[in-house]
């Protein structure tokens, strides 16, 4: 469905993403993992069209995607992003209902034809929130609730690919697990494709069908999750795996 081919992004002379090829099929969740600074966010920004590649292409259904401003509306809304910090990605002074309605204003072809209030309530229920949350401002919500609202806003425009960039990284471990469960549930119910980005392999392994590992801008390993986790080919993947296991032991939580 979405295909990144030989993507290179430079900041001045620094190569942040170096010849990365990566694809996400329909219904598939691909985990993109790597330590901070490895280039994951830059790949995500290129996919949503916020970062211009120095070379390489990004295609959706085989058709090339340009920068977001030049993407046809339907192709803009096909790819939605959920960010790490829900507090800074939501306007704190806007009500949850207006946040969702704004998404429909931006993409009118995804707006409900019937009662919008009811549609907002349905969306909130879909992400495990009480419909009464619609009246609240973002700054009245907890971190976990904010992240559910961000997910609802993304879903409001009926995307095909959800790019989650460290979407659970800023949350407490217990809330992190709840949001992960929600994403797993949503991908199944809405047949969503997902690019799930995290520095934490322990989190990625709970959701990804396939895992791609980046280091220093380079994709060092990629394959089915069971293979990458079960018999990592690259030393770097092995060290991420050890770090994740150690963390899980400390938190008293082991994977799946």
Ligand X SMILES: Nc1ncnc2c1ncn2[C@@H]1O[C@H](COP(=O)(O)OP(=O)(O)O)[C@@H](O)[C@H]1O
Which residues contribute to the site for ligand X (CB under 6 A)?
Answer: 11, 16, 34, 36-42
Query: In whole angstroms, how close is the CB of 237 to ligand X at the nearest point?
Result: 15
Which of Mg ion, ligand X, none lies near 29, with the C-beta cut-off 5 to 8 A by kind? Answer: none
Nearer to Mg ion, 87 or 190 (CB): 87
Query: Which CB, 41 or 176, lies closer to Mg ion?
Result: 41
Nearer to Mg ion, 29 or 41 (CB): 41
Contact pick of 7, 20, 31, 41 for Mg ion (by CB under 5 A): 41
Cβ nearer to ligand X, comparing 36 with 113: 36
Q: Which residue is nearest to ligand X (CB)?
A: 41
User: Which region among 19-27, 32-40, 115-123, 217-225 touches Mg ion (by CB under 5 A)?
Assistant: 32-40
CB of 61 to ligand X, least distance (A): 26
Report the nearest approach of ligand X to the CB of residue 35 (Å). Answer: 7
Buried b (16+ CB within 10 A) or exposed e, 45-84: bbbbbebebeebebebeeeebeeeeebeeebbbbbbbbbb
Largest CA distance in the chain: 55
Give the one entry of Mg ion, ligand X, none that residue 232 binds, where binding means its C-beta sits below a cut-off of 5 to 8 angstroms depending on kind: none
CB of 15 to ligand X, least distance (A): 9
- Stretch of 38-46, 63-71, 72-80, 173-181 lying at the interface with Mg ion (CB under 5 A): 38-46
Residues that bind Mg ion (CB under 5 A): 40-41
């Amino acid at each position: 469905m979405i295909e990144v081919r030989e993507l290179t992004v430079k900041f001045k002379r620094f190569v942040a993403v170096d010849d990365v090829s990566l694809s996400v099929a329909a219904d598939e969740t691909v985990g993109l993992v790597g330590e901070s600074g490895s280039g994951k966010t830059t790949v995500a920004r290129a996919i949503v069209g916020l970062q211009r590649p120095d070379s390489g292409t990004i295609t959706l259904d085989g058709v090339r995607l340009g920068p977001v401003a030049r993407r046809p509306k339907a192709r803009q809304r096909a790819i939605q992003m959920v960010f790490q910090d829900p507090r800074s990605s939501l306007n704190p002074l806007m009500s949850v209902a207006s946040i969702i309605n704004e998404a429909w204003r931006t993409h009118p072809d995804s707006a409900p034809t019937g009662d919008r209030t009811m549609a907002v309530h349905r969306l909130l229920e879909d992400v495990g929130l009480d419909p009464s949350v619609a009246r609240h401002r973002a700054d009245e919500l907890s971190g976990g609730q904010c992240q559910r609202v961000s997910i609802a806003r993304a879903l409001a425009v009926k995307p095909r690919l959800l790019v989650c960039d460290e979407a659970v990284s800023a949350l407490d471990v217990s809330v992190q697990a709840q949001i992960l469960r929600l994403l797993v549930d949503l991908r199944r119910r809405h047949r969503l494709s997902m690019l799930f980005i995290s520095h934490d392999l322990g989190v990625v392994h709970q959701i990804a069908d396939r895992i791609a590992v980046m280091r220093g801008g380079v994709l060092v390993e990629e394959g089915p999750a069971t293979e990458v986790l079960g018999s990592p080919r690259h030393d770097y993947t092995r060290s991420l795996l050890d770090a994740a296991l150690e963390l899980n032991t400390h938190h008293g939580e082991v994977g799946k």
